[in-house]
Amino acid sequence: MARIVKVAIIGSGLAGLTAAHLLARPAENEGDVRFEVHIIEKANALGMDASSVSVRVPGTKEEKDIRVNVPMRSFQGGHYPQLIAMYKKLGIRVRVANFTYSFSRLLNLGSKHGLPEMSTYLLYNGASGRKGVNLPSEKYPMSSKGAFKIIGLEDFWLQYVFLTLVPLFSAVCTAPERRILSHPVEDLLDYIWLTLGTDHFVHVDGVREVVSKLSEGLENVHLSATTTAIQPDPTHPDLASIVYTTPTGQECITGVHHIIFATQASQAVPLLQSYADSVPQSSAKRQAVTAQIACLQTFTYERNIVINHTDDNLQPPAPADRRDLNLIVPGSAFPTHETWERLASQRNPPLIVEPYFAMATQVLPLPADYPPDAPRIYQTTNPLFPPREDSIISVARLERSVLTRKAKAALRGLHNSDGRRWWQGQGKLGPLQGGGRREGGVEGPGIWLCGSYAYPGIPLLEGCVASARNVVEQGVYAAEGVSPGAAPW
């Protein structure tokens, strides 16, 4: 009879679903081991699709919905080798979407027409620059002062950095300007050159297809389940018990051999602390878990707002200047703190972010039978001013990991690229992975950490897939004497 190894995965985003999928597939030398996988998700739907919405197509004879991914999900060749390989293996349909961009500055919110006033200064035609750029309808006043200092074009370069590069990466990282200016530059440059000349892709059938494929065959999925504590199992102290609450009360999963945290680092910390507090203070396990906590506390998160709506005023006013993605940054004189507080106080919680982000409005693609006279649908990430109240379809409040120099240094505890660039291979798990199980032979459950933050580079979807694969193959499999066999993709 096969030995049952119980694995609890906390979180069901792409990292958690990837880990569950890998554990559910047959591996070599698994004859005497059967993995019993439990996914614990606090939302009422699996996490990768939990914030997405369905919008009814107006005026159609048959009821038809448009599924809108929340947040926006896209990926580009070169930077996502394992994500693309996994999608190909699973048969996930994708299509090329080489987005065009507009760049504008928000000047004020009180123009004579009562609409926000903005000035568009750059139109980018996509395809990694192969299609060039255009000038906007109205000429933007670029400064010429000191344009040829010493090595030339000094002032132009500064404007390019602050008006193009910083807004672009503010949108990519969904982070404010100060985070981009202090971001490790190596990882920004890697993103640029790895994606140079490659296509951008989106899901044909939305991320719900990804969720469906990855969750297929999973038997123990606990939704609307908020994990509240991790404790040593009362019967087998070397194993763990996972305590969680549901709308009907408190539940507990006992006899857990391995715990995979596929949540934000900040959410894993209190749960790890609950486990550390429940084991002897002098124990090696407590020391190992305490080291994991210290590592996770270095990772930084930014709060984001994503609004689906039909208000076309959150993009350039001139229709000729509007593109697939419209980036708007606050002008130097806007807003005053009083202006921001006034806008923020109009609704609780606010529908806008502090005025240091690049606001990104995507014009969502519509099906061929969408009525031409029906309102267009937009998705705005981190709005600097809110859409009209009657235009709002949905509001999602999310958090996103942002790379810092301290986090980049702490990442060595979770991942080791082994002298290679991360895109050249899988790399290896860092010494903190496993909570002492791998390197120190510490007894107790294996405690593993994965997610976009737990892999080199800008925290993106690639890190979710790659870190989850490493945790399963180099962590759980290795601890249980199971060979991963052929590459999963």
pLDDT tens digits, 69-92: 999 999 999 999 999 999 999 999
The whole-number pLDDT of residue 368 equals: 86
The answer to whether position 79 is within a domain reads no
Specify whether 465 is located in the same domain as 423.
Answer: yes
Specify whether 239 is located in the same domain as 294.
Answer: yes
**Domain boundary at 382, 399, 416, which?**
399
The whole-number pLDDT of residue 148 equals: 44
Per-residue confidence at 334, pLDDT binned at 50, 70, 90? low
- Provide the domain count of the chain: 2
CA dist., res. 287 & res. 276, Å (int): 8
Biggest CA pair distance of the chain: 79
**Domain boundary at 343, 365, 399, which?**
399
The answer to whether position 78 is within a domain reads no
Give the domain CATH number at 436: 3.50.50.60
Residue that is written with structure tokens 């997405």 in the block: 52
Specify whether 167 is located in the same domain as 108.
Answer: yes
The answer to whether position 8 is within a domain reads yes
The answer to whether position 236 is within a domain reads yes
Per-residue confidence at 64, pLDDT binned at 50, 70, 90? confident
Specify whether 417 is located in the same domain as 366.
Answer: no
Specify whether 281 is located in the same domain as 142.
Answer: no
**Domain boundary at 344, 376, 399, which?**
399
Per-residue confidence at 153, pLDDT binned at 50, 70, 90? low
Tens of pLDDT, residue by residue over 1-38, are 789 999 999 999 999 999 999 999 876 655 689 999 99
Specify whether 324 is located in the same domain as 193.
Answer: yes
Q: Is the model's pLDDT at 112 over the cut of 60? A: no
Tens of pLDDT, residue by residue over 377-408, are 999 999 999 999 999 999 999 999 999 999 99
The whole-number pLDDT of residue 276 equals: 98
Average pLDDT, the chain: 90
Containing structural domain, residue 168: 98-203+302-399
Specify whether 199 is located in the same domain as 308.
Answer: yes
Specify whether 153 is located in the same domain as 271.
Answer: no
Specify whether 242 is located in the same domain as 120.
Answer: no
β 200-203/75-76 pair status = antiparallel
Specify whether 343 is located in the same domain as 360.
Answer: yes
CA dist., res. 326 & res. 375, Å (int): 18
**CA angle (166 as vertex; 310, 130 as ends), nearest 5:** 80
The answer to whether position 86 is within a domain reads no
The answer to whether position 137 is within a domain reads yes
Residue count of the chain: 489
The residues, ordered by sequence, that sit 6+ positions from 392 with a Cβ below 8 Å of its Cβ are 307, 308, 309, 351
Specify whether 469 is located in the same domain as 323.
Answer: no
The whole-number pLDDT of residue 369 equals: 85
The answer to whether position 92 is within a domain reads no
Q: Is the model's pLDDT at 303 over the cut of 90? A: yes
pTM flag (> 0.85): yes
